[in-house]
């Protein structure tokens, strides 16, 4: 079930990495690396009460889905994709 806090990290055509709230039209933040975008997305999810972070690879396919708990990141990573 989708959560209003869920976020997606993906690469734009210009090579920048985007951290975007799924229900938003605009990026929440733009980064030089996927790692920076993932870190910021996780921080925003923790601060917003938790949710799911979906990370897309260079090919646009899902490479990971992680559930971020409120206040801390789960030590168990989803291995769905």
The rounded distance, in Å, linking the Cα atoms of 74 and 10 is 21
The verdict on residue 1 lying in a domain is no
The verdict on residue 58 lying in a domain is yes
The verdict on residue 24 lying in a domain is yes
The verdict on residue 47 lying in a domain is yes
Could you read off the pLDDT of 21-64 as tens digits, one per residue? 999 999 999 999 999 999 999 999 999 999 999 999 999 999 99
The verdict on residue 77 lying in a domain is no
6-15, 29-38, 62-71: least confidently modelled range: 62-71
Query: What is the per-residue pLDDT for 74?
Result: 53
Q: Compute the average pLDDT of residues 8-16.
A: 97
Cβ burial, residue 58 (10 Å; 0-12/13-18/19+): exposed
Query: What is the per-residue pLDDT for 12?
Result: 97
6, 22 Cβ separation under 8 angstroms: yes
Phi, then psi, of 40 in degrees rounded to 5:
-65, -40
- Domain extent, residue 18, equals 7-71
Query: What is the per-residue pLDDT for 3?
Result: 84
The verdict on residue 11 lying in a domain is yes
The verdict on residue 14 lying in a domain is yes
The verdict on residue 27 lying in a domain is yes
Number of domains the chain contains: 1
Query: What is the per-residue pLDDT for 80?
Result: 64
């Amino acid at each position: 079930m989708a959560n209003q806090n869920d976020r997606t990290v993906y690469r734009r055509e210009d090579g920048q990495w985007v951290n975007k709230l799924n229900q938003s039209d605009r990026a929440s933040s733009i980064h030089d690396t996927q790692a920076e975008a993932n870190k910021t997305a996780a921080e925003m999810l923790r601060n917003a009460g938790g949710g799911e972070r979906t990370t897309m690879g260079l090919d646009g396919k899902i490479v990971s889905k992680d559930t971020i708990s409120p206040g801390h990141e789960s030590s168990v990573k989803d291995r769905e994709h």
